[in-house]
Amino acid sequence: MVFSCIDESSSTSESFSPATTTAAKFSAPPLPPLRLNRMGSGGSNVVLDSKNGVDIDSRKLSSSKYKGVVPQPNGRWGAQIYVKHQRVWLGTFSDEEEAAHSYDIAARKFRGRDAVVNFKTFLASEDDNGELCFLEAHSKAEIVDMLRKHTYADELAQSNKRNGANTNTTQSDTVSRTREVLFEKVVTPSDVGKLNRLVIPKQHAEKHFPLPSLSVTKGVLINFEDVTGKVWRFRYSYWNSSQSYVLTKGWSQFVKEKNLRAGDVVTFERSTGSDRQLYIDWKRSGPSKNPVQVVVRLFGVDIFNVTSTKPSNVVDACGGKRSRDVDMFALRCSKKHAIINTL
């Protein structure tokens, strides 16, 4: 069993780790222009010349030297890209280069190989095949989601790890990898409620997810992959107060995204291969099995009503799994006007 025993602060992928991302391959950025200190938040920013401390302009934020990067009032940087006359927000970042890199990723995803990017070396090498496949294997919505949540680097690393160093991984390598079901749990109301945790039945927890003694109090982070190939990272720990093993951080997001309800069955699996990859899946028990109804409501009117099953896996040329490329942005013209309800 391989746990990533890192603490909370380092688990949020706050910055792209050069060791695991193409960030290490950034070409040297242009010399920084005279930097202005951007301070405070909200609309009343004071901008000072860093040398003289002179109030140059009491409102203006220093713009970024990178394409798709915009300053934020608090000194952080936002990344955005325009698609079909709509802005797609890519998140906020402490590091200007990280924001620029996020833009590059999005540009490559939305505009293809000819996209103009900030870092010329981005995906320019043959060694980047893994990342190209990764981009290809995920929908635009997924990539944007990863960028906004700062999980892109982690998920890319996970993906590369699964495919091994050999980028010529064949389809059968990926598909034929067998799994064993570790256990299933019928989730309780509290598992899907506001407690933001899933209780792992003690016998299963101690059998399959034994906590290293040093990690009992602090917990560990465990990665699970779902049927779409998305990697979920949960904090796993032991709560002395209730004497129970729980998945905490990350769990509520899973509940939300999968629209889990009490009575649904969550399955935990593990690859029997050497990677011991963990998987998580869920199913709806009872008469209303599996089909999920999706109503798309536009301007308050249900414009279509789709009954679908959970996404099936399709293997692409890269040997990865492709999830349905539902372009949320076409539907997301405005948060106020387009609502997707998963019922």
Binding site for DNA (CB under 7 A): 41-43, 59-61, 63-64, 66-74, 76, 78, 80-85, 87, 89, 91-92, 116, 148, 334-336
Minimum distance, C-beta of residue 308 to DNA, in the bound complex (Å): 25
Minimum distance, C-beta of residue 239 to DNA, in the bound complex (Å): 21
| Dihedral class, residue 154 (left if φ above 0, else alpha if ψ from -120 to 50, else beta) | alpha
Amino acid at 70: V
Closer residue to DNA (CB): 40 or 273: 40
Closer residue to DNA (CB): 185 or 332: 332
Measured CA to CA, the distance from residue 19 to residue 112 in angstroms comes to 25
Closer residue to DNA (CB): 194 or 289: 194
Tokens read off for 236: 């796993």
Q: Are 18 and 24 in contact (CB under 8 A)?
A: yes
Closer residue to DNA (CB): 94 or 203: 94
Strands in 86-93's sheet, in edge-to-edge order, are 69-71, 77-83, 86-93
Minimum distance, C-beta of residue 92 to DNA, in the bound complex (Å): 4
Measured CA to CA, the distance from residue 320 to residue 120 in angstroms comes to 26
Q: Are 139 and 323 in contact (CB under 8 A)?
A: yes
Minimum distance, C-beta of residue 299 to DNA, in the bound complex (Å): 13
Closer residue to DNA (CB): 61 or 124: 61
Closer residue to DNA (CB): 256 or 276: 256
Minimum distance, C-beta of residue 86 to DNA, in the bound complex (Å): 7
Task: Quote the distance between the C-alpha of residue 142 and its chain's center.
Answer: 7
Minimum distance, C-beta of residue 98 to DNA, in the bound complex (Å): 12
Closer residue to DNA (CB): 23 or 106: 106
Minimum distance, C-beta of residue 56 to DNA, in the bound complex (Å): 11
